[in-house]
Amino acid sequence: MVVTLVTYTDDLGEPVVVIRDVPADVCARCGEQFFNGEVVHRLTSLVEGARSGRYGREGTVELRYARQEAA
Ligand SMILES: [Zn+2]
């Protein structure tokens, strides 16, 4: 496993939420991405923040994992 910064996309609703530079363990064989618990928690917060409409309710919202604070 190698820690890599990946792009996480949540397209299960509007807006589509794209979060860049997310640390993940990536399998060198199959490319599957694994996020640790802290990362999952933060991704969930960021997605919920975006879903609340703070960045608009349509289209795609792009966030950066390290910079933006979610409520
Ligand atoms: Zn694998």
How many angstroms does the Cα of residue 31 sit away from the middle of ligand 1?
A: 6
Name residue 13's amino acid: G
Residue 69: the pLDDT is 54
Cis omega (within 30 of 0) for bond into 23: no
How many angstroms does the Cα of residue 43 sit away from the middle of ligand 1?
A: 22
Closest residue by Cα to residue 18 from 27, 29, 10, 28:
10
Name residue 30's amino acid: C
How many angstroms does the Cα of residue 29 sit away from the middle of ligand 1?
A: 5
Question: Domains of the chain by range and CATH?
Answer: 2-64 (3.10.20)
Residue 14: the pLDDT is 87
Terminal CA-CA length for the chain: 31
How many angstroms does the Cα of residue 49 sit away from the middle of ligand 1?
A: 31
Tens of pLDDT, residue by residue, the chain (71 residues): 778 999 999 998 889 999 999 999 999 999 999 999 999 999 999 999 999 999 988 999 999 998 655 54
The number of residues making up the chain comes to 71
